[in-house]
């Protein structure tokens, strides 16, 4: 587009950005609304959140809601662009609030703001993180150690791990957050922290009465763990800091 042609439609580049944001959000809302026809109140809110947080928007950001991809950039733009986005967000909040009010909310606008913020944040995190999990029945680890994975009884269980193993190979993470419950190995009934964070460089497999399992040590990330601990404690979230701990079946299962 030539300079003359551009300014015949938009008084400035910022005007173009503002209009592009408005149009993208309106198209996104329109696509979502088409899947909510006939719904109202709590059913509308549930379906709306379910559609927004489904796999397709996560995997196809080019056709989903533009908010997760643009908010950080818009924060650095001038007032015209910020106000354009704020206006569209306000309309989204009003629409959600109307259905929350129909569902009986006592403070629909506050709940709508919280709902939209949670949805946008969740979609953003879903695009940069992933979760892999498994049952921690002790017999699974024993079957692995004793070479029973191909036995008829165990084949369906270990076949189920193939997808996750391939996914982790294709999407090697920068860091893994492992969340697990201790089975009275590091802690006893005399001392039970509500939350604990491991800050060691490595964690050895525990001997749970039949010898330590033949698996590698769990490698820690002391710097990141210390940063997390300091950050949350400064926000008045109480954590137990663990500088040495042997880990049991919940963490070293497979």
In a structure prediction context, what are the per-residue pLDDT tens digits for the chain, which is 254 residues long? 555 665 667 778 888 888 888 888 888 888 888 888 889 999 999 999 999 999 888 888 888 888 998 888 888 888 988 999 899 999 999 999 999 999 999 999 999 999 999 999 999 988 888 777 777 777 888 888 889 999 999 999 999 889 888 888 888 888 888 888 888 888 888 888 888 999 999 999 888 877 888 888 889 999 999 999 999 999 898 889 999 999 887 675 54
Q: How far apart are CA 23 and CA 21, in angstroms?
A: 5
What pLDDT does residue 133 have? 75
Asked if residue 203 is part of any domain, the answer here is: yes
What pLDDT does residue 250 have? 65
In a shared domain, residues 142 and 209: yes
Asked if residue 82 is part of any domain, the answer here is: yes
In a shared domain, residues 144 and 108: no
pTM: 0.60
The CA angle 94-96-97, to the nearest 5 degrees, is 60
State the distance between the two ends of the chain, measured CA to CA, in whole angstroms: 58
Q: How far apart are CA 131 and CA 149, in angstroms?
A: 24
Asked if residue 158 is part of any domain, the answer here is: yes
Domain end (from 63, 95, 128): 128
- Give the three-class secondary structure for 220: coil
- Give the three-class secondary structure for 2: coil
Asked if residue 253 is part of any domain, the answer here is: no
User: Two tokens at 89?
Assistant: 């967000």
> Per-residue b/e over 140-175, b at no fewer than 16 CB within 10 Å?
bbebbeeeebeeeebeebbeeeeeeeeeeeeeeeee
Asked if residue 103 is part of any domain, the answer here is: yes
Q: How far apart are CA 119 and CA 111, in angstroms?
A: 12
In a shared domain, residues 156 and 106: no
In a shared domain, residues 118 and 147: no
Number of compact structural domains in the chain: 2
What pLDDT does residue 44 have? 94
Which residues constitute the domain of residue 54? Answer: 3-128
Q: Where are the beta strands (DSSP E) in the chain?
A: 196-198, 202-203, 218-219, 240-242
In a shared domain, residues 11 and 100: yes
């Amino acid at each position: 587009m030539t300079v003359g042609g551009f300014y015949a439609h938009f008084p400035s580049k910022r005007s173009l950005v503002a209009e592009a944001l408005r149009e993208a959000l309106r198209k996104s809302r329109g696509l979502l609304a088409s899947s909510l026809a006939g719904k109202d109140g709590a059913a509308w809110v549930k379906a709306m959140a379910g559609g927004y947080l489904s796999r397709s928007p996560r995997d196809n950001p080019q056709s989903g809601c533009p908010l997760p991809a643009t908010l950080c950039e818009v924060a650095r733009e001038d007032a015209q662009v910020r106000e354009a986005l704020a206006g569209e967000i306000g309309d989204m909040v009003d629409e959600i609030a109307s259905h929350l009010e129909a569902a009986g909310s006592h403070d629909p606008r506050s709940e709508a703001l919280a709902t939209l913020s949670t949805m946008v944040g969740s979609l953003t995190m879903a695009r940069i993180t992933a979760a892999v999990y498994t049952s921690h029945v002790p017999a699974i680890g024993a079957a692995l150690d004793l070479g029973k994975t191909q036995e008829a009884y165990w084949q369906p269980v270990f076949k189920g791990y193939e997808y996750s193993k391939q996914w982790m190979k294709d999407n090697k993470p920068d860091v893994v957050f492992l969340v697990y419950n201790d089975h009275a190995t590091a802690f006893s009934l005399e001392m039970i922290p509500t939350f604990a964070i491991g800050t060691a460089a490595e964690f050895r497999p525990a001997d749970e009465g039949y010898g330590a399992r033949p698996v590698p040590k769990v490698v820690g990330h002391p710097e990141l763990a210390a940063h997390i601990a300091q950050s949350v404690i400064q926000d008045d979230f109480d954590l137990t800091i663990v500088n040495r701990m042997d880990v049991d079946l919940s963490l070293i299962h497979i």
